[in-house]
Every structure is written in structure tokens, then in C-alpha cells.
Amino acid sequence: MFDPTTIDLRILRERAYNLRWATVPEGVIPLTAADPDFPSAPEIAEAICRFAKDRYLCYGPPEGLPEFKESMAGHYQAKRNLSIAPGNVFPVDSAAFGIYLTCRAFLRPGDEAIIFDPVDFLFRYSIESVGGTAVAFPIPPGDAPVDFQRLENSITQRTRLLCLCNPLNPTGKVFTKAELLCFGELACKYDLTILSDEIWSDIVYPPQIYTSIASLGEEISARTVTVTGFSKSYGLAGLRIGAVMATDADRFKKLMDASLHHPTIHGANVLSQVAATAALKECGYWLTGFLTHLHAMRNLVVGALNSIPGFACHSPEGCYVAFADISRTGKTSAAMRDLLFDKARVAIVPGLKEWFGEGAQGYIRISFATSEEIMQTALSNIKKTMQHL
Ligand SMILES: Cc1ncc(COP(=O)(O)O)c(C=O)c1O
């Protein structure tokens, strides 16, 4: 399923946008936006076709299709030990919208929200879009303990939201249960809502074990909004489908009201909900195979990057991105992006503030959700380029 023959570069060059194959010149390998090069599981296309062939594509319920809500609740109960009623699962048109929606529901202009640094730009972007202030809390790549005292010191009278990204894109950190309990206790102490972005939670490499913060007791669960999506685990980014979940009735109502689903201004596409339901119900085998392949790619990429003079890369515990420290090459992240693009013919994401925050400076991010063949070519091009400097 995950060998080079399954990847159709002709189709990717026509369809894969967001810094990927359709946006780079011929000959450049885009290890940029974290979106797999592999086609999605066949059961997903079959489910979409079955639904579409009746030719009734009516309005769906604003709160989401019952089968989607039930599958999500079942999945979170079985895989994350989180008791959530189907009625408290709300499909939205992406995890990105889920993050934005949570900010819109829980932040007023002038409020503060704590975000990790580095972390995906979507957090800062969403907070600032609703007039809030993003307060960066450093979690540098590596094994250093999370500085909870510093986190507590950064909480003020205006802090309303604590934003978790677990596993953490771009560093690949997977938070332990003990760390999550500390986040939860601080949220309870200061009456904060927790936004837990868990879009990467299926992509965790053994022996690491994933914990959903909302599974850590009623008090923490009640103040948590869990956000997830289907772009990473199942390669459905173009379907724009995700979900927000909240066990607390008041918080759930705030999300529904802020979503504008009831007046039909926004809503989760019915076909996308059908596809996501099929992913959860029928595609576990595909995800298992994908994870096995990614595990091998992670080891390959980390080993290769660490053999390049001036590069240093921690092994990510989750996500399919490697976040390499390139500061000892003497180049900035942007200069390295340009060098690798021009000479190695490989596109990467530079550790710029606008992508990941201040803490990403001196790093580059490389996605490895591709075939071993493409990965080997890209890594060998990068290595040759750095050796010939
Ligand atoms: C941490 C994180 N959250 C959310 C998203 C966005 O996902 P979606 O495609 O569902 O909007 C991404 C995509 O890279 C991500 O890494």
C-alpha cells in the first residue's frame, strides 16, 4: 500500500496544492505541507460514490450527521478512553476551522490565549483573528522538562484559553499523562478553557502512548474543547473535514452558536462526513499500514539528517515531520530553504516566525509522508548539497 508504485505523481502535480506538487517546478520534491503523497484508502472513495449515486445531496443537520457523530464518539471511547456522547461531537469543515471556532467562542477582544512555541501558525492566526493576544510559551525541541512554573507565571487576569497541540507540530513531541495533568490542573486553578488540538493523535510511534487530556477526569474534561481532523491520518485534506468535541453543555452550545451552522452560513459538507465516517469504521487497517511505513521513514530521515554536518534532529515521538536544527551550518532557516530549493531541488518549510513562532528560528521542517524512494532521493540531494558547500 505504501510502496512507490502507489504514488501517482501525474495526479499529484495537478491536484496537490498548499506548497506541494502542483505549486513547485518540475524536478523539485516538496517535503512541505504535511499531506501524504499516498492515495487515500479505497473504502473512502467507495463510500463517497455510494452516497453520491443516489443524486440526493440535500442539506444535512446543522449539528452533523448522526452516523458521523456516533462513529467519532465510539472512536474516542475505544481509542482514547474518553466518554463523549454523540450529541457532544460537532463536525466542522476542518481542524483549522475548529481552532478558529474555539477562539471565536471563548475569546473576546483583549483576552489572552497561551500557545506553544514553536507550534503551527494556525493558533496565533486564529487568536489574533478574533482580537485576542497570543502569549507564547516555549517548549523547545528535545527532552527538556516542560517548565510549568514559567507557564503559571505567564497566566494573567486576561488569560482565557490554554491551547495544546498534542502531538506537537512541528517538534513531534507527545505529551505524557503527567504533563497533561499539570496542564489540566493549571487550567482548573485559573478557570481556563483548554483547546486540545489532537489532529496528529493517530500518528504516534511506539513505545510512546497517546493520552487525550479530556480523558483525565471530569473537571478537566468539562473545560476541554478537543479539536481533530482527517487530513493527517487519512489524507483527506481536500475534503475539509474535522470535528470539535466538548463534554460540557454550556461550552458545546457556545461552539454551536459561534459556528453559524444553524443559519447555514457555515457547515460540514455531507460527503466529507460520509468519507470521514468510512475512514473511522473501515480504514483502521490502512492507518495501521501507514503508521508502520511512517515509523520506518522517521528512522530513515532522522538518521540521514543527523549524518549531515551542521544538522541535528531529535527523533519525533509523533507527527510525520522532522524538525532539524540547522543553526550550526551558519545559515538562517530562510537561507537554507533557498539553498535546498535551488541546489538540492527539495522544498522544505523554514522555521520562520510566521509559520511556527520565534522558537522555530534556526530550524527547518521536513515532511516524510512519502515513499522510501522519494525520501531517499530528497535526502541524498540534501546531503550532496551540504557536502559541496
Ligand atoms: C496541528 C495542526 N492543526 C490543524 C491543522 C489543520 O488541519 P486541517 O487540514 O483539518 O485544517 C494542521 C495541519 O497541518 C496541524 O498541523
**pLDDT > 70: what percent of the chain?**
100
Task: Output the CA 96–ligand 1 centroid distance in Å.
Answer: 6
Closest ligand 1 atom, residue 242 Cα: 10
Q: For a pocket test of ligand 1, which of 122, 200, 227, 234 has the largest count of ligand atoms closer than 8 A to its C-beta?
A: 122
Q: Which residue's entry shows cell 467507495?
A: 46
Q: How many CB atoms lie within 10 A of CB 381?
A: 17
Ligand 1 centre to CA of 54 (Å) is 32
Between the CA of 263 and the centroid of ligand 1 the distance, in Å, is: 26
Indicate if the pLDDT at residue 98 is higher than 90: yes
Q: Quote the ligand 1 centre to 199 CA distance (angstroms).
A: 6
Mean residue pLDDT across the chain: 97
Tell whether the model's pLDDT for residue 175 goes beyond 90. yes
Residue nearest (by alpha carbon) to ligand 1 atom 13? 34
What is the atom index within ligand 1 of the atom nearest the CA of 168?
A: 1
Supply the pLDDT for residue 344: 98
Q: Residue 336 is inside which H or E element, if any?
A: helix 333-339
Pocket of ligand 1 (CB under 6 A): 34, 94-96, 120, 122, 165, 169, 197, 199, 229, 231, 237, 242
Band of residue 318 on the pLDDT scale cut at 50, 70, 90: very high
How much distance in Å is there from the Cα of 97 to the middle of ligand 1? 9
Q: Which helix (H) or strand (E) holds 372?
A: helix 372-387
Which pLDDT score is estimated for 1?
87
What per-residue confidence (pLDDT) applies to 4?
87
Residue 389 has what pLDDT? Answer: 86
Contacts 24+ apart (CB under 8 A), 47-52: 47/274, 47/275, 47/277, 47/278, 47/282, 48/271, 48/274, 48/275, 48/278, 51/270, 51/271, 51/274, 52/271
Question: What confidence category does residue 58 fall into, taking pLDDT thresholds of 50, 70 and 90?
Answer: very high
CA-CA distance, 238 to 223, in Å (whole number)?
A: 31
The predicted-structure confidence for 359-370, as pLDDT tens digits, reads as follows 999 999 999 999
Give one DSSP letter per residue of 37-105, joined into a string. Answer: SSPPPHHHHHHHHHHHTT-------TT--HHHHHHHHHHHHHHH-----GGGEEEES-HHHHHHHHHHH
| pLDDT higher than 90, residue 128 | yes
Pocket test for ligand 1, best of 199, 204, 227, 366 (most atoms within 8 A of CB): 199
Decide if pLDDT at 32 tops 90. Answer: yes
Ligand 1 atom closest to residue 33's alpha carbon, by position in its atom list = 14
So what's the pLDDT on residue 117?
98
User: What's the mean pLDDT in 193-221?
Assistant: 98
Residue nearest to atom 7 of ligand 1 (CA): 95
Q: Which of 3-7, 44-48, 58-62, 236-240 is least confident?
A: 3-7
Q: What is the pLDDT of residues 251-306, one digit of tens each?
A: 999 999 999 999 999 999 999 999 999 999 999 999 999 999 999 999 999 999 99
Amino acid at site 154: S
Closest residue to atom 16 of ligand 1, CA basis: 169
Model confidence at 354: pLDDT above 90: yes
Question: Is it the case that residue 109 has pLDDT exceeding 90?
Answer: yes
Q: How far apart are the CA of 237 and the centre of ligand 1, in A?
A: 9
Question: What pLDDT band is residue 137 in, cutting at 50, 70 and 90?
Answer: very high
Smallest CA separation from ligand 1 atom 14, residue: 34
Q: Does 164 have pLDDT greater than 90?
A: yes
Report CA(165)–ligand 1 centroid distance (Å).
10
Q: What is the pLDDT, as a whole number, of residue 21?
A: 97
Q: Is the dihedral of CA 186, 189, 193, 198 positive or negative?
A: positive
Distance 207 CA to ligand 1 centre (A): 24
Cα 232 to ligand 1 centroid, rounded to whole Å: 8
Res 196: pLDDT: 98
User: What pLDDT sits at residue 377?
Assistant: 98
Nearest CA owner, ligand 1 atom 6: 96
